[in-house]
Amino acid sequence: MTANAQRGLGELDGETAVPRMNGELVFDAPWQSRAFGMVVGLHERGLFSWNEFKDRLIAAIAEKPAGDDASPATVYYRQWLAALESLLLAKGLLTGEALEKRAEELVARGNG
């Protein structure tokens, strides 16, 4: 991870802070670390700024998904993905059709 990405993570505080335990990132499942890596990688490629992502993450957290028995990390990374999807759609880097098709493929494979 670049120094720029590390600084960006430092800007995520309060409710937007990435889950950590003893200073280490916390992921309950592999999809969470992949979601994290997608955002870092796309940011490092210059597709969006941390502030653009952070604004979307704040909005996703404010929407608070319907309560369930999911762990705090699972809820957080669902919001993280919602923020990424929203940002990619807004920037025209992803179409709604492509997103829907991929979601259907994942559900069909049992990953959704």
* The pLDDT of residue 40: 93
Instruction: Say what the pTM is.
Output: 0.78
- Confidence band, pLDDT 50/70/90 cuts, at residue 61: very high
pLDDT for position 3:
59
Q: Is the pLDDT of residue 93 over 70?
A: yes
Task: Give the residue ranges of DSSP H helices in 25-95.
Answer: 30-44, 50-63, 72-90
Residue 67's pLDDT band, with cuts at 50, 70 and 90, is low
Chain centroid to CA 104: how far? 19
Total domains present in the chain: 1
- In terms of residue numbers, what domain contains 71? 3-109
Q: Domain with 105 in it: what CATH number?
A: 1.10.472
SS3 content of the chain, % helix, strand, coil (to 5): 65, 5, 30
Instruction: State pLDDT tens for residues 6-28.
Output: 565 666 777 777 888 888 888 99
pLDDT of residue 85: 94
